[in-house]
Structure 1
Amino acid sequence: MTLRTVANPMKMIRPFSNLLIPTLLLLMCRTASAQHKSEIPVLAGEHWWGAYTTAGAAMPFAAADRSYRLGADNLENQSAPFLVSSLGRYIWSEAPFTFRFDGRKFVIDSPVGDIRAVKAGKTLREAVILGKNARFRSNGQTPPELFFSRPQYNTWIELQYDQTQEAIERYADDILANGFPAGVLMVDDNWQRYYGNFDFKAERFPDPKGMIDRLHAKGFKVMLWISPFVSPDSPEFRELQAKGYLIRAKGTDKAAIIPWWNGYSACYDLTNPAAFAHLQSRLERMQREYGVDGFKFDAGDTRFYDSATQDYHDPDARAVDHLQRWGELGSRFPYNEFRAAWGLQGLPLVQRLADKNHSWEALRRLVPEMVNAGLMGYPYTCPDMVGGGQVADFSAEAQERLDQDLIVRSAQLQAMMPMMQFSVAPWRVLDAEHLGYCRAAAELHEKLASYLLETAAQAAKTGEPMVRSMEYMYPNKGFWDCRDQYMLGAKYLVAPMVTDEGKRTVRLPRGTWVDDEGKRFKGPLVMEISVPLGRIPYYELKR
C-alpha cells in the first residue's frame, strides 16, 4: 500500500459570526436558479471597502476591469458578502454574489433577488457597527489571551515538510535562548502519518506526548496544522467512503479526488453532520491523548469545491457552505487559526493574512489588508509572518538577497497589531544588531498586552475592529486614501515604516498626541519624520 504524505517536495511555496440565516431566505437562496442584476450608484464623495481581505491594498474600491466572484474564490483569505461605505451605507446578502465596480456604480449579480445599499448612518464607522449588529452579532467571546499577549511561532519556514520532534523542541529552545518569550507554537504540515490520519509519525516523533508536555513546561501552547483532506488508498479513506463522509464525484457514490497544493486527495464532506462530528471527535482525541491545545485549520479555500463536479450530503451546498462548516469546526477549539474564511464574523476565530513574499511591496499591503479585514467583521487577525511566509525567500540560495532591515520593519509593524507571528528564525538570518531590534519589537508587543486584550474585548462587545482605518476614526477629514497608517483601537495612531527610506510623512488628526519619543504635537498636522531602524513611530491620543 502506498500512502501519500506530501506532494512534490521541491514545492517550497504555499498559497496564500454566526450567520443567522432565516429559514425562508435560505430556501430562496438555494432554490433560486435565475440571477438577479442590481446596480448601486456611488454617491458624490463616497468610498467603499469590504468583500475580500486580500483586496485591501486596492481599497477603497476604484474602477476595475474585472469581476469579483464571492461564491467561487476567497482570494486565499477571508471573504464576506459585506461592503461598507464612507457615507454610512452597507451592502449585504445572505448568499454569495458576483460584482464589479466601474467607478460610478456597483453591478451585482445575485441568485437571491435584488440587492440594495442600506443606509445605516452617515460615516464608515456607523456603516460597520450598525451593519454588523443588524446582520451578524458577536457571541461576546475572544480568542485566548496568549494570542494577543505573546508572539506566535510557526515552524513552516524553518522545518518545511521536515517536521520532527527533535527539530521542534530545538526551535522552541532557540526562541527562549535568544530572548524571545514563549507563546503559541504552531507545528506545521507533515507531522501526521498522512492526510486524514491524526497520529504522529512514529519515526519522527518517538514521544509526542512527552514533547508537548515539555513545551508546555516551557510556557508554550501547542497547535497542529490540519486540513480537511484525506489521502486516497488509506484505511481512513476506505472507512470514510464506506460511511458516506467524503465529498463525492458528481453523480456517483465514489469520493471526489480534488487537486490542491499538496497533490490530489479526497475531502471530508463537512455538510454532513455525521462527518463533521467524526472529524471533531478525531481532533478531540488528539487533545486527550497528546495534550494538543488546538489546531491550525488550513486549506479550506472555496476554489477546491465545485458543486458542478462534486456532490455533497447537503444537495444544495455551495463552496462557501463547506468553508463555513470548516470555520464552525474550528470554533469548537479555542486555540484555532484560519487563513480562509466565509462569514462567521461573530465567532472568536483567529484569522491570518495570506502568505506574503519577502518584499517591501508585500509589507505595504499589510496595513490596508488588516484594515479591510476589520471592516469586514474579522477583528482577531494576524498580519502574516514576520519577514514573509514564502519558504523560497529564506533558502540558502536566497540568503544574499535577504533584506535584514525589511525583517526588522515587518516585526515592528506586527508589534503594534493585535497579533504577531514569527516563522523564519530571526537568530538564523539576522546579525546581532537586527536581531536586537526584532527582540525589542516582541517586547513592545508584550508591553501592549493589556491594551490589546482590552481592545479585543471591546471588539467582542461592540463589533468594532481592533485595527481601524483613519477614515473610520476620523470621518470626512480627508483620510479615505490613507493606507500606510492606522489606529490601534481608539488610543494609538501607528505610522509604521513600510519603505526602506528611513523617513515618512505622518498625518495627525485633531487632538493632542504624544509620540514614542515623548514629544507632544497638536493636530491637525502633517509632518515628515525621521525613522532610524530602531524606531517604531506611534502616537498616543491624550485628548
Structure 2
Amino acid sequence: MARTRTLLTAGAFALVTALLPTITTVGAAAADRDGPGPVAVSESRGQLTVTVPPGHGGPGYRLLIDEKTLGVRTVRAGRTVLATNPAGGFAFGDQHATSVTTWSYAAGTLRIAAASTAPADTVAVAITPTADRYDLTWSVAGAPAGARTVSYQLSSAGHWYGGGETSEGAAQPYPLDAGQVSEPDFSPASYLMMEPYWYTSSSVGNYVRTASPMDVQINKSASGLGDFTIKSTDSYASTVFVESTPSAVYQDYVEVVGKPSKSDATPAEIAQPLWNSWAQFYTAIDQNKVLDWAGKLHAAGLGGHTIQLDDKWESNYGNLTFDPKTFPNPKAMSDQIHSMGYHFGLWTTLWINLDSANYAYAKDHGYLLAAAADSTKPCTVTWWNGTAGIIDLGKPAARDWYTGNLHQLMSTYGVDGFKFDTRFFDDSCAPAAGVQAGDYQRLGAEMADGFDLQGAGVRVHWGNQKYGFVIRAVDAGTSFPELRTTLRRSMAISTDGYPFVETDMIGGSLGEPAPTKQVLVRWAQAASLMPLMYSSTSPLGVVDHTTGKPVTYDPETVQLYKNAIARHGRLSDYLQAQARKSVADGTPIIRPVFFDFAADQRFYTTDDEWMLGPSVLAAPVLSDSPTRTIDLPAGAWFDTVTHRVITGPRTLSAYPAPLGVTPAFVRLGAPGAATAIAALSHQS
C-alpha cells in the first residue's frame, strides 16, 4: 500500500507527530531485486525512515530523511555510512532544498516534494531502494535548466577514492579527502581518465549517472564536503551502492557499467615492455636517433615488444605523413626496427592543426566537429601543440577518411599499430546530427578497437570499460613524489573498472629533468609489479631535455632495469591468469590492499602497497631510502626477498631494501601463489 502526507502548518504538524509518533508504510514485495523482504517506510517526529532488509545480494540499510532540511543519512548496521550536507544537500545555483512538503511511497519508490530557499521553486526527489543500493534522482520545478549538486559530508563515509585522475601536474591526494580535489571541467570530453564514480572506506559508492560535464569539488578550501555537480541539466540521477566491503561496492558498480569483454593487451604486450620515444627525445627526434636508441636497447638485451615513435614524426600535426627532413626513409627505418624483432608503432591524434595541409581538406569535406556557438564553422581548440580542428567521428565519412590514412601508413611503411593520444570531443564543439556529445567516447573506442594499440592503449573512459583497453596514467614528472602520484592515478583508473593499467612511462616525463638513477630504477621495479610496463627513458642514457646535456647511467642501472623487466616477464603467466579473471568477472588486477583485507584499517591510507591479483602484495620502495616500513595483512606470507614465511597481521619496520631489492610477498594458499613464488623468489 502507499500513503501520501501533505505538510501541515508548523504547529499543527508538531502536534500531529507528537500524538501519532509513527505512521508506517510497507511496499508489497517491494523493489528489492535481490532479497525477499519488503521495504518499509515510516515517519516519526520530523523524520522519514526507509528500512531496507538484508537480501541475497546486500547487507540491508536504513535511510533517515530529515523533513526540516531534506538531509539524507544512510545507516548500515547502526552506523552512518553516508550523509548529505546538513546545510544544503540538494543545491541548484545559489539555492537549495529545505523542508519536506509532501511524500508518498508506491511501487518501490519514495517520492518527496520539498520547498527551497527560492520561494517559487519546488524540489522533487525520488528514491528507489533495493538490498544493496538505491537510485536517487531529483529535479527542480519552476527553475530554469542549470547546475544541480548533491553535497555530502566527507567524514560521514570515512575515506574517499575513485573518480579517476586528478589534473596533470597536481599531486593526486590519497585518499582523496586527505587533500583537495578541484575538477570544474570533469567531463566525458576530458583528456584525463575520469569516471563519475567514487567509493569510500565505509563501503558505499556514489555513481552519478550522467553524460553531461560535471564540476567535482572534494574538500574545497578544507570544507569537509564533497560537491558533485552536473552542469547544464534540469535533473540529477545517481546510484548509491551500500555494501559491507569496498570490493563488493566495486562489483556492484561493474555490474552496472560492464566489465571488459576482452584484454586488448596481447600476451607479449603483458610480458615485455613497450618502448615509446617520448621521454627519451620529446620532439627533438629524427630517424638516426630512433635507430640508434632502438639498436642500443636491443644490443643491451633490454627486451621489449615494440618501438613506438611518439610526437613530431609528422610533417605537421594532422598531415599523417612523415616529415621528410627528419625521416627521409621511414620504410627503411621500419624494416630495421622489424629486423631487431620489434613491432613498429606511431603516435597519432584526431587533432588537425590549422596550418596543416589536411586541415583545409577536412574542412572542405565537412570532416571536422562544428563549433557549438556557430554550427556553420569548424570547432577550433587549443592544445599543447597549437590550434586545431577535431575529426568528427560522428560522421562515418570523416571516420573512414581518418582511418584510411592510418591504414595507408600501415601498408606503405610497415606500421604495426598506434598510440592514440587524443580527445574525441571538446565541450566547445557541437556533436554531429543524431549524435550526443556523450557518444564520442564510444565512437572513439570503436574506432581505436580496429587497431593494435601496442600496450600504450587509448585514453577512453566514461563508461567504456567493456573494450578492455590498456590505459596509461597521464604524464607525470621525474621525481619520487611524481612516482607516487602516477601510482595513485593508476590505482584510481584500475578501481574505476579499467584493469589493464600502467603508470606513465618509467622514469616519468612532463618535460622535467631526466630522472636520477634511483628514480629510474625504483620506477622500473614498481612497474614490474603492475599489469604492464611502459618504458621510454633508456637506462643506457638520455639527453636531459631541460639542459640539452647527455645523462649517462652506470652499468648497475642497466642491470637493475633488466632485472625488473625479467621479474615482470617471469610473472607473465600469473598476470595473464589475472587478465582472464578480469574478463570473466571484472576483478581489478591491481587494487588497494583493503579490497582483499577490508577489516584491516591500516590500509585505507596506504598508497605504497597494493595487491597484484589475489596472491601478491607489492611493496616496492618509492623513495631513495634503503629501508621502508611494510604492513602485512592477516595470513601466511612468503617473503620473496628473505624466503621466510611471516604470519600477519604484522608491521615490518626498517625493512632492508637497498637499490637492488624489490620487496614483494606472496599469500600462501591464494590462487596462483605457487606461480608467483616461482616468479618472484629471486631478485635478478
Normalised by the length of structure 2, the TM-score is 0.68
1:109 counterpart = 2:229: yes
* CA 1:256–1:355: 2 relative to 1, 3 Å: same
How has the CA–CA distance of structure 1 residues 354 and 119 changed in structure 2, closer, same or farther, with 3 Å as cutoff?
A: closer
Asked if the contact 1:142/1:456 (under 8 Å) is kept, the reply is no
- Equivalent position to 2:485, from 337, 362, 365: 365
2:194 is the counterpart of 1:79: yes
Does 2:515 align with 1:424? Answer: no
Task: Render the CA deviation track for 1:296-350: whole Å, top value 9, x for unaligned.
Answer: 1113287xx233xx334248744x6545533332222132535643221221212
Return the offset for 1:513.
0.8
Q: What's 2:449 paired with?
A: 331
Mean alpha-carbon deviation: is it higher for 39-48 or for 492-501?
Answer: 39-48
Residues 477 and 508 in structure 2, CA contact (< 8 A), matched pair in contact too: yes
* Greater helix share, structure number: 1
CA 65–367 in structure 1, closer or farther in 2 if over 3 Å, else same: closer
Deviations 1:436-466 (A, max 9, x none): 1111111111111111111122112211111
Give 1:378's aligned residue. 498
**TM-score scaled by structure 1?**
0.85
Distance in 2 (alpha carbons) for counterparts of 1:44 and 1:203: 61
Equivalent residue number for residue 413 of structure 2: 290
1:500 and 2:624 correspond: yes
- Deviation sequence 1:37-74 (CA, Å, 0-9, x none): 32445575533211122378413331766643354487
Q: Percent same amino acid at aligned positions? A: 25
Q: Residues 109 and 371 of structure 1: is their aligned pair in 2 closer, same or farther, counting only changes over 3 Å? A: same
| C-alpha separation in 2, matches of 1:540 and 1:329 | 40
Determine if the alignment matches structure 1 residue 306 to structure 2 residue 427: yes
1:475: Cα distance to partner? 0.6
Whether the aligned pair in 2 keeps the contact of 1:150 and 1:184 (CA below 8 Å) is no
Does residue 34 (structure 1) correspond to residue 151 (structure 2)? The answer is no
Q: Does the CA contact (< 8 Å) of 2:369 and 2:430 recur in 1?
A: yes
Is 1:62 aligned to 2:213, yes or no? no
Aligned length: 501
Instruction: Give structure 2 stretches of 5+ with no counterpart.
Output: 1-136, 138-143, 542-551, 670-684
Match of 1:238 in 2: 360
Q: Deviations over 1:405-443 (max 9, x none)?
A: 121111111111111122121111311122211111111
Select 2:257's aligned residue among 128, 135, 139. 135
Judged with a 3 Å threshold, the aligned counterparts in structure 2 of structure 1 residues 83 and 45 are, in CA distance, closer, same or farther, namely closer
Structure 1 equivalent of residue 82 of structure 2: none
2:521 to 408, 428, 444: 408
SS in 1 for 2:176: coil
Q: For residue 276 of structure 1, what is the aligned residue in structure 2?
A: 399
Q: Matched residue of 1:409: which SS? A: helix
Separation of aligned partners in 2, 1:316 and 1:419? 35
The one-letter code sitting in structure 2 at the alignment partner of 1:291 is G
Q: 1:128-186 CA distances to partner (integer Å, 9 max, x unpaired)?
A: 12211222232234322222110111112333224333322221111111121132221
SS of corresponding position for 1:127: helix
2:650 counterpart of 1:525 = yes
Counterpart code for 1:503: T
- 1:540 correspondence with 2:638: no
| 1:86 aligned partner, one-letter code | S
Q: Which residue of structure 1 lines up, in the alignment, with residue 612 of structure 2?
A: 488
Per the alignment, residue 94 of structure 1 pairs with 210
Query: CA 1:141 to 1:414, structure 2 compared with 1: closer, same or farther past 3 Å?
Result: closer
Q: Secondary structure at the match of 1:306?
A: coil
Contact 1:161 1:189 in 2 (8 A): yes
Distance 1:248 1:456, change over 3 A: same
Deviates more, 1:268-277 or 1:427-436: 268-277
Output the CA distance in 1 between the equivalents of 2:255 and 2:473. 24
2:424 and 2:415 map into 1 onto residues whose CA distance is 25
Counterpart of 2:399 in 1: which secondary structure? helix
Query: Displacement, 1:123?
Result: 1.0
- Judged with a 3 Å threshold, the aligned counterparts in structure 2 of structure 1 residues 112 and 118 are, in CA distance, closer, same or farther, namely farther
The CA distance in 1 between the partners of 2:449 and 2:339, in whole Å, is 26
Matches within 5 A, 1:439-518: 439-478=562-601, 479-517=603-641, 518=643
Letter matched to residue 210 of structure 2:
E
Secondary structure of 1:526's aligned partner:
strand
SS at 1:239 equivalent: helix
Aligned to 2:675: none
Judge conservation of contact 1:54–1:75 (CA < 8 Å) in 2: no
CA distance in 2, matches of 1:75, 1:534: 39
- Structure 1's consecutive aligned runs of 4 or more residues displaced over 6 angstroms after TM superposition are none
Higher mean C-alpha displacement, 52-61 vs 484-493: 52-61
Alpha-carbon shift at residue 476 of structure 1 (Å): 2.5
Instruction: Determine which structure has the larger strand proportion and give its number.
Output: 2
Cα deviations by residue, 1:337-364 (Å, 9 ceiling, x for unpaired): 3564322122121211122212111122
Q: Cα distance, 1:521 vs. partner?
A: 0.5
Which amino acid is the alignment partner of residue 574 of structure 2?
Y
Given that 1:120 and 1:131 are in contact with CA atoms closer than 8 Å, whether structure 2 keeps it comes out as no
5+ unaligned residues in a row in structure 1: which ranges?
A: 1-24, 26-31, 395-401
The residue identity in structure 1 corresponding to 2:539 is P
- In structure 2, relative to structure 1, the CA distance for the partners of 1:63 and 1:446 (3 Å cut) is closer
Moved more, 500-509 or 210-219: 210-219
